[in-house]
Amino acid sequence: MTGAPWYRPAGSGFTIDVHVQPGAARTAAAGLHGERIKLRLAARPVEGAANEALIAFIAECLGLPKRSVAITSGEHSRSKRVAITGCAYEATEVLRRLGA
């Protein structure tokens, strides 16, 4: 799945573009939403809870500490760019680990 529009190698890791749906019944990946990975988050978008849940979910799925995952743009939007450092998974492996 090289050439996935939501995935970009970057330095010692990569970035992914995600579309989040806060306030869902449970936290889970929901496939693709346009050119982004759609993630449903059980947390509400109140006082950063959804952003924290997003970071925790991605870190857990990829087997990384939370400090390796950071929202680099879209902190107050449903469309976000997330930087992941300390691993070099390919796009297909990222999808598999997220369960998308």
The token duo for 33 is 């939403």
- Residue 2, pLDDT score: 53
25, pLDDT greater than 60: yes
Tokens 């982004």 found at? 36
- Residue 1, pLDDT score: 46
User: What is the domain range of residue 75?
Assistant: 7-98
Residue 91 belongs to domain with CATH number: 3.30.1200.10
Q: Is residue 61 part of a domain?
A: yes
Task: Domain count for the chain, please give it.
Answer: 1
Q: Is residue 92 part of a domain?
A: yes
For residue 45, give every residue at least 6 positions away whose Cβ sits within 8 Å of its Cβ, in sequence order, or none: 22, 23
pLDDT, tens digit (0-9, with 9 covering 90-100), for 45-98: 899 999 999 999 999 999 999 999 999 999 999 999 999 999 989 999 999 999
Average pLDDT on 8-26 reads 94
Q: Is residue 1 part of a domain?
A: no
Q: Is residue 2 part of a domain?
A: no
